[in-house]
Amino acid sequence: MCSPSDLRLTVSKINYSFVRSVLSGINNYSRKIVRQPEDYETVVRLGEILIRYMPDKFLNYDIPEGLKTEFLDMIFRSPLILAAFKGDYKVINQWVKLGLGGAITKTIMPDKQLGNKRPRHIIFKDEDGHENHVNSYGLPSKGVYDEMILLENSGLLESDIPLGLSIGGQNVDEYLYVLQKLLDSTKIRLAKQKKRIFIQPNIGCPNVETGQNMCRFPLEFRKLIDNIRDIDSDVPLLIKTPPYPFGTGNEESDKKILEVAEICASHEKVGMTLANTIPVDEFNFDNNIAKACSKISIRKGGLSGKKCKPRALELIQKIRNKYDHLPISMCGGVETAEDVLMGSAAGANLFEMATAVGQNMYVIPEINRKLAEYFNRHIASD
């Protein structure tokens, strides 16, 4: 028999899916009428408005016992954390109430930038019916000064979860500039003292032409880490790398990422996010992906969703086999409790979610419950 809490979760998931489908349908129909190109970003913005003002009674879910995870000398109440993709701190706060163990901000750049021209976010279903996304936002940012003010007033720095600050730049100096400005904040320093702040240098983004490509140049990456340690000797670092540092085959990509892993493993309190969106373009061998890219303004982007999981698992296993103690966060195709268990078996410690949360945010408490049930069954059987 379904418990009241299970019934509440099921009804919430159904309602959320229904509202999302209605918004998507209205958006697609209205754009066809006025002959505008397909653009999922409008649905994202409408969804943010609804989530921002959603009452707590629809959001507050307890995290079951037994899910606490230690990572980079911090305690996460659940191994599920929000990946670096959302710039609306109010929405992040709402998602935290659903049971996230932590969250990472969207990449903060030194100065204001608008990102790529719209349309820059398209969704499609693969041959198995799974929803996948291609986006080419191009790291839009309000700039570090304005982002810091918004962050200080968001309440996230006073919450009881570790918060990752994703930083970006076109060169080492810009990364360091963003980091220094953030660490100048009294609230961020206080949160760091409570072991609730970590930094995620985003060193690989497939959606910008310049910068963000330190995986190609390990010596430059080592310089970045060494300079960060000169600024702050103990702030935890979680390095975000792409699955493909550049558009060659896996063998060359693996070599570069293993070089990055070696540098990470040689430093204290440095872990890796494996991996990122997969760079794709309109010439992709998969017709669904190629068609989606052809609708993007720059004709290419980053693929996210279920199709990213095999590559993420492959990279996790390769690096875990070589570096036993390197902290690893899985990012790519994490949509179910089974995905988390597969990632854990491969060697991941934390699990970053993006696409799945956007599809239905109630997947957060659902996965937490299923993980707790799994662990309880195994404890009982032992």
Q: Tens place of pLDDT for every residue, the chain, 382 residues? A: 568 888 999 999 999 999 999 999 999 889 999 888 999 999 999 999 999 999 999 999 999 999 999 999 999 999 999 999 999 999 999 999 999 999 999 999 999 999 999 999 999 988 888 889 999 999 999 999 999 999 999 999 999 999 999 999 988 999 999 999 999 999 999 999 999 999 999 987 644 545 446 777 788 889 999 999 999 999 999 999 876 544 445 777 788 889 999 999 999 999 999 988 888 899 888 899 999 999 999 999 999 988 899 999 999 999 999 999 999 999 999 999 999 999 999 999 999 999 999 999 999 999 999 999 999 887 766 5
Identify whether 355 is part of a domain: yes
17 within domain boundaries: no
Compute and round to an integer the Cα radius of gyration of the chain: 20
Whether residue 27 is contained in a domain is answered as no
Per the DSSP assignment, residues forming a β-bridge with 200 are: 166
Max Cα–Cα distance, the chain, nearest Å: 62
Per-residue pLDDT, 117: 96
Rounded Cα distance between 66 and 224, Å, is 37
Query: Which DSSP category does 204 fall into?
Result: B
Q: Which helix (H) or strand (E) holds 281?
A: strand 278-281
Residue 5 has what pLDDT?
Answer: 84
The per-residue pLDDT for 4 is: 81
Is 6 a member of any domain? no
Q: Which residue has the tokens 């932590």?
A: 102
Domain, as residue range, for 91: 64-381
Domain for residue 192, yes or no? yes
- CATH code of residue 355: 3.20.20.70
Strands 278-281 and 197-201, sheet pairing = unpaired
C-alpha–C-alpha distance, residues 289 and 259, integer Å: 30
The answer to whether the beta carbons of residues 351 and 330 sit under 8 Å apart is yes
Going by C-beta distance under 8 Å and a sequence separation of 6 or more, which residues neighbour residue 68? 75, 76, 77, 78
Domain count, the chain: 1
Bridge partners (DSSP) of residue 329 are 273, 350
In this prediction, residue 254 carries a pLDDT of 84
Residue 244: predicted pLDDT:
58
Q: Is residue 170 part of a domain?
A: yes
Residue 356 phi, psi (nearest 5): -65, -40
Backbone angles phi, psi at 72, to 5 degrees: 55, 40
Would residue 44 count as lying in a domain? no
| Residue 372, C-beta contacts closer than 8 angstroms, at least 6 positions apart | 64, 65, 66, 67
Using CA atoms, how far apart are residues 105 and 84, in angstroms rounded to an integer?
5
Question: Quick check: is 140 in a domain?
Answer: yes
